[in-house]
Chains A and B, each alone.
Chain A
Amino acid sequence: MAAELLRATALHAYYGESHVLQGVEYHVNRGEVVTLLGRNGAGRTTTLKAMLGLVGSRCGSVMIDGRETISLAPHQIAHLGVGYCPEERGIYASLSTEENLLLPPALAPGGMSIAEIYAMFPNLQERRASRGTHLSGGEQQMLALARILRTGARLLLLDEISEGLAPVIVHALSRTVQRLREQGYTIVMAEQNFRFAALLADRFYIMERGRMVEGFTARELPDKMTLLRRYLGV
Chain B
Amino acid sequence: MTEILGIPVAVIPGQLMLGLVNGSFYAMLSLGLALIFGLMGVVNFAHGAFYTLGAFAALLGLQWFGINYWIALLLAPLVVGLLGILVERLLLRRLYRLDPPLYRAWVIIASVVVCFATWFVIERTRLGATLRAATENAPLLQAFGVNVPLLMAATYGGGVALAALAGVLAAPVVLVNSHMGTSLVIVVFAVVVIGGMGSMLGAIVSGLVLGLVEGFTKVIYPEASNIVVFIIMALVLILRPAGLFGKE
Residue ranges of A at the interface with B (Cβ–Cβ < 8 Å) = 52, 54, 73-75, 77-79, 84, 86, 90, 92-95, 99, 102-105, 107, 148, 151
Q: Are A103 and B136 in contact (CB under 8 A)?
A: no
A94 and B132 CA atoms in complex are apart in Å by 7
Residues of chain B in range 135-181 having any CB-CB distance to chain A below 8 Å:
135-137, 139-149
CB distance from A53 to the nearest CB of B (A): 8
- Are B133 and A103 in contact, CB atoms less than 8 angstroms apart? yes
B89 at the interface (CB under 8 A from A): no
Bound complex: CA A99 to CA B130 (Å): 9
CB distance from A116 to the nearest CB of B (A): 19
How many residues of chain B are within 8 Å of chain A by beta carbon? 20
11 contacts between A and B (CB under 8 A): A90-B137, A92-B133, A94-B132, A94-B133, A94-B247, A95-B129, A103-B129, A104-B144, A104-B146, A107-B145, A151-B144
In the complex, what distance in Å separates the CA atom of A189 from the CA atom of B148? 26
Find out whether the CB atom of B129 lies under 8 angstroms from the CB atom of A99.
yes
Q: Do A95 and B132 touch across chains, with their CB atoms under 8 A apart? A: yes
Check: B126 CB closer than 8 A to any chain A CB: yes
Contact assessment for A92 and B137 in the assembled complex, using a CB-CB cutoff below 8 Å:
yes
Main secondary structure of the interface of A (DSSP, over half): loop
Which of A52, A54, A94 has the most B CB atoms < 10 Å from its CB?
A94
Assembly CA distance A94 to B196 (angstroms): 14
Contact A74 B137 (CB under 8 A): no
- Whether B145 lies near A78 (C-beta < 8 A) is yes
B145 touches A95 (CB 8 A): no
Q: With A99-B129, A103-B130 known to touch, is A94 a contact of B135 (CB < 8 Å)?
A: yes
A156 to chain B, nearest CB (A): 13
B98 to chain A, nearest CB (A): 40
Partner of A103, one of B135, B139, B141: B141
Chain B interface residues toward A at CB < 8 A: 126, 129-130, 132-133, 135-137, 139-149, 247
**Complex contacts, A102 vs chain B, CB 8 Å:** 126, 129
Q: A90-B137, A94-B136 are in contact. Are A75 and B130 (CB under 8 A)?
A: no
Residue on B nearest A105 in the bound complex, by CB: B145
Indicate if the CB atoms of B139 and A54 lie closer than 8 Å: yes
Give complex CA distance A77, B139 in Å.
13
What A residues does B130 contact at CB under 8 A?
103
Contact B136 A92 (CB under 8 A): yes
A47 to chain B, nearest CB (A): 14
Which residues of A lie under 8 Å from residue B144 when comparing CB positions?
75, 78, 84, 103-105, 148, 151
Inside 8 A of B129's CB, which chain A residues have their CB? 95, 99, 102-103
CB-CB under 8 A from A73, the residues of chain B are: 142, 149
Q: Are B143's CB and A95's CB within 8 A?
A: no
Closest Cβ of chain A to B17, distance in Å, is: 36
A54 to B147, CA, bound (A): 14
Q: Report the bound CA distance from A84 to B136 in whole Å.
A: 17
Rounded to whole Å, the gap between the CB of B199 and the closest CB of chain A is 10
- Give the chain B neighbours of A95 by CB distance below 8 A: 129, 132-133
**In the bound complex, CA of A105 to CA of B147 (Å):** 10
A94 to B247, CA, bound (A): 10
User: Which of B126, B136, B141, B143 touches A93 (beta carbons < 8 Å)?
Assistant: B136
Q: A84-B140, A103-B130 are in contact. List 6 more A-B contacts (CB 8 A).
A: A73-B142, A78-B143, A84-B144, A93-B136, A104-B144, A105-B146
Q: Select the residue from B126, B147, B149 with max chain A CB neighbours within 10 A.
A: B147
B-side contacts of A78, CB under 8 Å = 142-145
Which residue of the partner chain B has the closest CB to A108?
A: B145
In the assembled complex, the CB of A63 is this many whole angstroms from the nearest CB of chain B, namely 18
Q: List, in ascending order, chain A residues with CB within 8 A of B133's CB.
A: 92, 94-95, 103
